[in-house]
Structures are given as structure tokens and as C-alpha cells.
Amino acid sequence: MRLGGAHSSERVSQRVPDMQADNLPTDDSPDFAAIFEKTPGLYLVIDTRFDIAAVTDAYCEATMTARDAIVGKPLFEVFPDNPRNSAADGVANLRASLLRVLKSRESDRMGVQKYDIRDQGDGAFVARYWSPLNIPILGDDGYVRWIIHCVEDVTDLMTIASGGASQQS
């Protein structure tokens, strides 16, 4: 079956002119770090010691952090439980999920988590709800080398569902 008419193979083989050709580097290799950082999703790359290795701009914005301040730091030092909330269990739940990923070498979807984050401006903790998924990245030997922690901020949805406004803790 032929799609696209008689000249489709000619059109497919022709390159689209690059409107920014003068600004392109001479090396055509993609800069995967830059691509990752600009990805619109909320992604954090964690090593097997649970240190932060990389983060998207969107994740930094959602968690009120700066890349330079968190990359290379222990995950649970950067994102501790809210000390003013004795019922906080975000660290324990996330640690358990990450350990499951290391052991099973399979993705682990967590239920919605209330995991307050520290406002870098005044240090107060702000209530946030997240829907997390932890995905292992395996090395050639089949062992976990990295974990991609992806979250969706569902705070607004949870606030609407509870019939109230988000509160600072």
C-alpha cells in the first residue's frame, strides 16, 4: 500500500530547512543533559545511594528548589519530612518504594502521597500532594544504576476533592 501519493518518498527524503542553521553547533550529537533539564515533566534522577544526580527545571519549579542547591545531595536531606507534622510518612514511603525498585528492578507506582516541601524563601513547609512513579534504569549487567523519580503534583486536585484550600504547615 502506498501512502502520500506518487512523490512521498521524495518528500520524506528531503530535509526541512533549518531556520536556525547559523546557531547550530558543528557537532550534531544531541545534548541529552540539556534536553532532560528542559523536559516539561517533573523528573528527578537518583543514584543507588539515593543521592540526586539530575533534575528537570519543572521539578525544581514545583518543589521550590534550585538545581545547583540539590544535585549531588542526599534525597532525604533535600526533601525531609515536615518536622512539625508528627504523622508525616513521606520519607518512609518513598524510601520503601525506592528499595522495592532496587530489589525487584521494576517500576514502582506509589499511591498519592502528602509530602510537604520546604519553601526556600522562608523555610516554612508547604503542603503538597504527589502521585509518584519510580523507574529503574538498568546497566548492561542488569542491575539498577539510576532511578527516575517522576511525580505529578496533584495538590489542586486533592484540595478540590477535600473541599478546602491548601494550607501551609
Check whether 169 has a pLDDT greater than 50. no
Grid cell of 10 as nine digits: 521524495
In-domain check, residue 7: no
Q: What is the pLDDT of residue 54?
A: 98
Do 108 and 102 touch, CB atoms closer than 8 A? no
- Domain range for residue 90? 32-162
Mean pLDDT of 6-12: 53
Percent of the chain past pLDDT 90, that is, above it, reads 67
To which H or E segment does residue 32 belong? helix 32-38
pTM: 0.78
* Confidence class for position 20, pLDDT limits 50, 70, 90: low
Apex 95 CA angle, 66 and 84, nearest 5: 65
Question: Mean pLDDT of all residues in the chain?
Answer: 87
In-domain check, residue 85: yes
In-domain check, residue 40: yes
In-domain check, residue 27: no
**Of 137, 114, 129, the residue nearest 54 (C-alpha):** 137
Q: What is the pLDDT of residue 28?
A: 78
* Confidence class for position 163, pLDDT limits 50, 70, 90: confident
In-domain check, residue 169: no
Place of cell 541529552: 32
In-domain check, residue 167: no
Mean pLDDT of 39-48: 97
Residue 55 carries which side chain, given as an amino acid letter? Answer: V
Q: What is the CATH number of the domain that holds 76?
A: 3.30.450.20
Number of structural domains (the chain) is 1
In-domain check, residue 105: yes
In terms of pLDDT, which residue wins out, 105 or 13? 105
In-domain check, residue 118: yes
* Confidence class for position 166, pLDDT limits 50, 70, 90: very low
Do 74 and 51 touch, CB atoms closer than 8 A? yes
Find how far residue 128's CA is from the centre of its chain: 15
